[in-house]
Amino acid sequence: MTFYHIDAFTDTLFAGNPAAVCPLDSWLPTELMQQIAAENNLAETAFLVPRADEPGHYDIRWFTPAAEIDLCGHATLASAHVLWRHREVGGEVLTFHSQSGPLPVRREASGRLTLDFPSRPPQELPAHPTGLADGLRATPLQVLAARDVVALFGSVAQVQALRPDFTRLLDVEYLGVIATAPGPEGIDFVSRFFGPRVGVNEDPVTGSAHSTLIPYWAARLGKTELRARQVSPRGGDLWCRLRGERVDISGYAVTYAVGELLL
């Protein structure tokens, strides 16, 4: 079985977020897909199956090393890159059908790929979730939540300086923890993402987190087009747009490896 190792949300190797992509003819057992994801030991492994009689449409599932999740940006971007770059699929739009509904991806003239994702605006929480401040070893200015909890800080330096206690972050009863702050000149906002509850202590570049970050920062900054940067050690850049109940999340992808799984 052929698999692809793709660095997403970057145009250079050894940056962005690595994902494994496994195109299939039909679904493998869920337990086996979880075992493959654990063996790959990347933030996400995507499995995709083409829909019969629907060219350009694929069912997609994503697995961290520890769990299946409902939405993943970088592995969807990587999957589109694989289909266009390596599998010779035609067309300018691909549609992935997922637990979170249809997710179109389109090719831009710039070479970037654009994800069409649901908007998930966060709501302010009246109290900090148990374990958040202790887990981050820092007290955020504001805490909000959608699927993930969002911890707002005042500067890029504060977000970069976070050295979480991941054992304590396990007490935070959300899928992940997003730390965010206003960006430096030319960047509207920055973020980091911590997901120990799903087996990923720090995710290098988290497309799905921007389903929540984009509506928050668009409202705060009064603009619908934004530049974002995830300031993890690997780092990654995202071009973002709010479109009502949907968001556009754009980035580049590059291939690191193509190989075979001997199952």
DSSP 15-52: SSEEEEEEE-SSPPPHHHHHHHHHHHTSSEEEEEEEPT
Question: In this predicted structure, what is the pLDDT of residue 5?
Answer: 98
Q: How far apart are CA 6 and CA 254, in angstroms?
A: 6
In terms of domains, do 103 and 203 share one? no
Structure tokens at 13: 């190797």
The CA-CA-CA angle for residues 35, 41, 46, to 5°, reads 70
Q: Which domain holds residue 61?
A: 2-117+249-260
Q: What is the dihedral of CA 166, 170, 173, 175, to 10 degrees?
A: 60
The CA-CA-CA angle for residues 207, 98, 88, to 5°, reads 80
φ, ψ dihedrals at 203, nearest 5°: -90, 125
In terms of domains, do 108 and 140 share one? no
The CA-CA-CA angle for residues 141, 142, 143, to 5°, reads 135
- For residue 16, name the pLDDT band (cuts at 50, 70, 90): very high
Query: Contact at 8 Å (CB) between 222 and 1?
Result: no
Predicted confidence (pLDDT) per residue in 129-181, tens digit: 999 999 999 999 999 999 999 999 999 999 999 999 999 999 999 999 999 99
Q: What's CA 91's distance to the chain center, in Å? A: 24
In terms of domains, do 142 and 212 share one? yes
Q: Is 158 helix (H, G, I), strand (E, B) or coil?
A: helix
Q: How far apart are CA 263 and CA 260, in angstroms?
A: 9
In terms of domains, do 87 and 154 share one? no
Question: In this predicted structure, what is the pLDDT of residue 48?
Answer: 98
Query: Contact at 8 Å (CB) between 9 and 203?
Result: no
In terms of domains, do 237 and 138 share one? yes
Beta-sheet strands, E only, within the chain: 2-8, 17-23, 44-50, 57-63, 68-69, 93-98, 101-107, 113-118, 123-124, 142-145, 149-152, 177-182, 189-195, 200-203, 225-230, 236-243, 246-251, 253-260
104 beta partners: 95
- For residue 128, name the pLDDT band (cuts at 50, 70, 90): very high
Question: In this predicted structure, what is the pLDDT of residue 100?
Answer: 97
In terms of domains, do 106 and 150 share one? no
* Count of structural domains within the chain: 2
* Confidence (pTM): 0.96
In terms of domains, do 211 and 166 share one? yes
In terms of domains, do 153 and 234 share one? yes
Catalytic residues: 44
Residue type, 222: G
Question: In this predicted structure, what is the pLDDT of residue 38?
Answer: 97
In terms of domains, do 159 and 231 share one? yes
In terms of domains, do 205 and 139 share one? yes
In terms of domains, do 100 and 25 share one? yes
Predicted confidence (pLDDT) per residue in 21-72, tens digit: 999 999 999 999 999 999 999 999 999 999 999 999 999 999 999 999 999 9
φ, ψ dihedrals at 246, nearest 5°: -130, 160
In terms of domains, do 219 and 256 share one? no
CATH number of domain containing 54: 3.10.310.10
